[in-house]
Amino acid sequence: MTIQEISEQIVEEFSVFDEWLDKYEYLIETGRQMPPIAEEDKTAENLIEGCQSRVWLNCQEKDGRLWFTADSDAVITKGIITLLIRVFDGQTPEDIAAADLSFIDRIGLKDNLSPTRANGLVAMITKIKAYALAFLQKEKEHDEQE
């Protein structure tokens, strides 16, 4: 599925919740499904700055696609990063770098998060995109060398 299709799916899933607590239940459940990352991946490099709780995002490339794992000491935060990973996991760096993220506004996540949390969300997306851009840069340098 494309980034766009998964985004639509998430918006649809969220649309069934009227109550904010139900949305949190969903995020908590989502966060719990993501297995914790290995301790050695909890590096300063993988740590996302700008979140009130600590969040680590690990990225690996395989056959031209990027794969993510993440962890956080706060479970709602982990739910949010897990949602983002669901959208971006296994996508190409080109698509990730170019992705439109309006789904975040449409599920109302940003508006209803505390400002520090919303900053955190922006920081997470920035980090995901930074991984994609770094990979593209590396590829470009590699091509130029050849």
Partner 1 sequence: MENTAANFRKHFPALSQQVYGKPLVYFDNAATSQRPDCVIEMQQKMTGQACANVHRAVHRLALDATELYQQGREAAAAFIGAPADEIIFTSGTTAAINLVASCYTRICLNKGDRILITEAEHHSNLVPWQMACAIHGTKLLVTPVKEDGSIDMETYRKQLDNGVKLVAVAHMTNVLGVENPLKEIITAAHEAGAVVLVDGAQGIVHSRVDVKDLDCDFYAFSGHKIYAPTGIGVLYGKRELLEQMPPYMGGGDMVDRVSFEKTTYGPLPLKFEAGTQNISAAACLAPALKLAREAQEDAELQAAMNATDKLMAEQLGTIEGLHCPSLANPLRKGIFSFWIDGVHPTDAAEIMDKLGVAVRTGYMCAEPIIRKYTDNGMMRASLMPYNTQEEVQIFMEALRRALKMLR
Q: By CB under 8 A, is residue 117 in contact with partner 1?
A: yes
Nearest distance in Å: CB 114, partner 1: 6
Among 40, 44, 45, 114, binds partner 1 (CB under 8 A): 114
- Pick the catalytic residue from 51, 121, 125, 132: 51
User: Which of 48, 145, 47, 140 shows the shortest CA–CA distance to 94?
Assistant: 140
Establish if 77 lies at the interface with partner 1 (CB under 8 A). Answer: yes
- Residue 51 designated active-site: yes
Rounded to an integer, what distance in angstroms lies between the CA atom of residue 12 and that of residue 4? 12
Name the residue with tokens 């914790």: 36
Please name which of 97, 91, 86, 85 lies closest in space to residue 57, comparing C-alpha atoms.
85
Determine which residue in the list 9, 53, 92, 119 makes contact with partner 1, applying CB under 8 A.
53
Decide whether 5 or 22 has the Cβ nearer to partner 1.
Answer: 22
The answer to whether 77 touches 47, Cβ cutoff 8 Å, is no
